[in-house]
Amino acid sequence: MATTSFTEENYLKTIYAIASRQQGEVSTNALAEMTATRAASVTDMLKRLADKGLIHYKRYQGVRLTDEGERLALTIIRRHRLWEVFLVDKLGFGWDQVHEMAEELEHVRSDELVTRLDAFLNHPQFDPHGDPIPTPAGLMPDVTYRKLADLVPTEEACLMGVLDHSASFLQHLDACGLTLGSVVKVSEISSFDRSMQVTIVPDQALFVSHDVAKNLLVSE
């Protein structure tokens, strides 16, 4: 297996994240936007990753991971999400504090450490943000959620995850009393801006903007 730098690993993880939300190859422009990097720099990185056999890349035709590239991306994601569980469950950090720490810890290359961490945490299946944790075999569990924004009045569902992992968004949810496992029932939807009146069961009334609702994942 080719040796990879932290930056290369971050690119593989980003390519996987974009590809999981769309069909077909990932464009250079999408990568540049996601990484806040100039397109020319992205192109240079893609050439390096292609030379290492981690991506399929043709200029102007986008990029996709090779089998080895996907395996490595899932390994990094697994480390990241396990570390987030550890930081929240064992060290008492808030879910809004752990992303950047896990970004550093995910690059610690020790299979034995990850195996022991997983066992110490009792083999969690989801991270603190509701994202599934890839298996030791490198498989991403198949989970299906809806967005809160897609519910209609009188529907009730359990909050399972978030799409926006930014500290400001998670802090907003904390301030509203919205946590994973909360059961919410839609009372009313504004025809003007799609904002929602919901109830956190049993009786906490709450206003939820459309921007917030479209970033909340709920049970089917």
Looking at 65, 97, 115, which one is the last position of a domain? 65
| 168 falls within a domain | yes
Residues 213 and 201 in one domain: yes
Give yes or no for residue 23 having a pLDDT over 90.
Answer: no
Residues 38 and 96 in one domain: no
Give yes or no for residue 2 having a pLDDT over 80.
Answer: no
Binned at pLDDT 50, 70 and 90, residue 50 comes out as very high
Instruction: State how many domains the chain has.
Output: 3
CB 132 within 8 A of CB 141: yes
Which residues, listed in sequence order, are joined to residue 37 by a DSSP beta bridge?
Answer: none
Residues 119 and 158 in one domain: no
Give the percent of the chain with pLDDT over 90: 89
Binned at pLDDT 50, 70 and 90, residue 60 comes out as confident
Cα–Cα distance for residue pair 39/207, rounded to 1 Å? 40
Average model confidence (pLDDT) across the chain: 95
Residues 171 and 187 in one domain: yes
How do beta strands 156-162 and 216-218 pair?
antiparallel
Residues 139 and 152 in one domain: no
Looking at 18, 37, 65, which one is the last position of a domain? 65
| 70 falls within a domain | no
| 73 falls within a domain | no
Residues 53 and 83 in one domain: no
Residue 147, amino acid: K
| 102 falls within a domain | yes
Q: What is the pLDDT of residues 129-173, one digit of tens each?
A: 999 999 999 999 999 999 999 999 999 999 999 999 999 999 999
Q: Tokens 């906490």: give the residue.
A: 204
Residues 166 and 203 in one domain: yes
H helices of 52-165, where?
67-89, 99-105, 111-120
Cα–Cα distance for residue pair 100/84, rounded to 1 Å? 10
Residues 44 and 99 in one domain: no
Cα–Cα distance for residue pair 178/131, rounded to 1 Å? 16
Cα–Cα distance for residue pair 36/27, rounded to 1 Å? 14
Residues 56 and 88 in one domain: no
Give yes or no for residue 1 having a pLDDT over 90.
Answer: no
Residues 94 and 155 in one domain: no
Give me the CATH number covering residue 209.
Answer: 2.30.30.90
Buried b (16+ CB within 10 A) or exposed e, 94-103: ebbbbbebbb
| 71 falls within a domain | no
Closest CA to 130 of 159, 161, 102, 158: 161
Give yes or no for residue 191 having a pLDDT over 60.
Answer: yes
The pLDDT of 64-69, averaged and rounded, is: 96
| 85 falls within a domain | yes
| 110 falls within a domain | yes
Q: What is the pLDDT of residues 28-43, one digit of tens each?
A: 999 999 999 998 899 9
Buried b (16+ CB within 10 A) or exposed e, 63-81: bbbbeebbbbbbbbbbbbb
Residue span of the structural domain in which 207 resides: 146-218
| 117 falls within a domain | yes
Closest CA to 64 of 25, 114, 27: 25
Give me the CATH number covering residue 34.
Answer: 1.10.10.10
Cα–Cα distance for residue pair 12/159, rounded to 1 Å? 29
The pLDDT of 97-118, averaged and rounded, is: 96
Looking at 143, 161, 185, which one is the last position of a domain? 143
